[in-house]
Amino acid sequence: MPSGAHRARLSVYMKAVVYDRYGPPEVLCIEEVGRPAPRDGELLVRVRATTVNRLDCHTREANRSNGLVISGVSQLVSGIHRPRQRILGSEFAGEVEAAGPAVTRFGAGNRVFGNTGLAFGCHAEFTCIRETALVAPMPAGIGFEEAAAATDGALNALWCLRLAGPLTGRQVLVYGASGAIGTAAVQVAKYFGAEVTAVCGPKGVEAVTAIGADRVIDYTKQDFTADRGRYFSVFDAVGKESFAHCRGVIEPGGTYLATDGPRNLLLGLWTSRFGDRKVMFKLPPRYTQQDVALIKELMEAGSYRPVIDRVYPIEDVIEAARYVETQQKIGNVVLAVSDS
């Protein structure tokens, strides 16, 4: 049996991945840090699984790979000289350890999943989230690793595809369909009634076909821009395309759905007034708790399942981050958090 002092230490501290300066994956390390305590209206969640996604990676390196302007904006949000939030990770699945005062919907032992957004804090054994935030009961029959990977891609896909308007019977192209957002977008677009063409590299063809894409284009073998005027919407899930390059495949009255790139903010304003094809890109995105509840329902109905490429123990977070930065992952990269 652990000593009283050891039990007290376990109740006060937790294992977490932290970083104190911006830079490559090697700035990450495992430390024992103070365990958070739930305040009014908050849940203390014992994290069983989380993910490493592009938000984590861009934030950790202060978006330096996207140029000085974007890096400067990133540091205004995250901290000018050093990160204000030492613990990254925005997706989680786990169990409610304790509920703060005024919590009414959840109790200790409930299995929950969700997303903390720019508050981060999920690369740790425990995290706190408001009961009214992006959290919901875990889908029935789904494990922690799959639930942890469920929200980021699907929330992005729901936000962007809703901007396009009704999609029933429409042709939608998803570019970058094998990533976390792309694999979610294929399934969400199908849920909205669209016929989906997925564009990805050869490594992702099998996975994208398996999740229900009606047509898959391997961009190393075929140029999707040959489909002139075919699509009602083009969804760029990876921020590597441009409206100018895709415009010809969009039918009059159609939309280009962007997930990245400040130029798309300006194009959105311009095309809202001029031209017959619109760029849809609005910041900040507005996600709701009802969106997480919808993700739960879609998973339980078999309409959406997050694709998982690799699962790493949290101690291998540096290796996981390196792999995410290769931009070769299929779907999601999960961190399994130990039970200690």
Q: List the CATH number of the domain containing 224.
A: 3.40.50.720
Q: Which domain holds residue 55?
A: 4-150+306-336
> CA of 304: how far to CAs of 90, 146, 175, 200, 319, in Å?
20, 11, 18, 19, 28
pLDDT digit of tens for each residue in the chain (340 aa)? 444 444 444 468 999 999 999 999 999 999 999 999 999 999 999 999 999 999 999 999 887 776 675 666 667 677 777 889 999 999 999 999 999 999 999 999 999 999 999 999 999 999 999 999 999 999 999 999 999 999 999 999 999 999 999 999 999 999 999 999 999 999 999 999 999 999 999 999 999 999 999 999 999 999 999 998 899 999 999 988 888 899 999 999 999 999 887 777 777 677 778 888 898 888 788 899 999 999 999 999 999 999 999 999 999 999 999 999 999 999 999 999 975 4
Q: 132, 106 in Cβ contact below 8 A?
A: no
Question: 285 to each of 90, 115, 117, 295, how far by Cα in Å?
Answer: 15, 14, 11, 17
The total of structural domains in the chain comes to: 2
Residue 286 maps to a domain: no
In a domain, 287, yes or no: no
Handedness of CA 52, 323, 241, 162 (dihedral sign): negative
Which stretch of DSSP H or E encloses residue 195? strand 195-200
* CATH number, domain with residue 326: 3.90.180.10
Domain for residue 88, yes or no? yes
Q: Per-residue DSSP letters for 285-317?
A: ----HHHHHHHHHHHHHTS----EEEEEEGGGH
Q: Are residues 122 and 240 in the same domain?
A: no
Pick left, alpha or beta for residue 102 (phi over 0 → left; psi -120 to 50 → alpha; otherwise beta). Answer: left
Beta bridge partners of 196: 172
User: Are the C-beta atoms of residues 52 and 68 closer than 8 Å to each other?
Assistant: no
Residues 84 and 157 in one domain: no
